[in-house]
Structure 1
Amino acid sequence: MSTPFSEVRPYDEIRITGRTGAGFDVTDYTGTVSGVHQDDDGWALKLWPDDDCKHPASNGKDWFEERNVTALTIVKRDS
């Protein structure tokens, strides 16, 4: 079961499957959350990708909107 976006906090390390705001499809993409946002369109997360990420947008941050995500797991929470 996917973790609700509302439970995610900045600096959480998450694993995510879905489509980025830039239109890239990703599977089991791991990154660190730099921001959580909610507006009329729903929830969105901004990530700072890990250095070893092979994602096409790994040279910068990217947005994931809740409606485009099929799976989200919190891997590690910074206490």
Structure 2
Amino acid sequence: MLLACCGPQHLANLAPPLQVEIPTTCEDLLEQIPLPSFGPDDDAIPAFLWLEAIVIEQHGVIELGRECLRRQRLDYAGRGGK
């Protein structure tokens, strides 16, 4: 049986560490939002409509965050070796 080795002799072959400061814009965009709390005495229709509005808004925020991360990945691709 052959054994693979990940020992220190292979460290020279590893890519250099990331050497750029990546902005936190995407993380800031995707901050968690506070959700409203409803009790047993609350009317279900307004509660549903309120939560539906939050979901619609956050769907757009998620799409923006996804695009932000995609652009950031493309902008910083290959800069770790400088």
Q: Which structure has the greater CA radius of gyration?
A: 2
TM-score under structure 1 length normalisation: 0.18
Q: Which has the higher contact order (CA 8 A, sep 6+)?
A: 2
Q: Which has the higher helix share?
A: 2
> So what's the TM-score if we normalise by structure 2?
0.18
Relative to its length, the structure with more strand (as a share) is 1
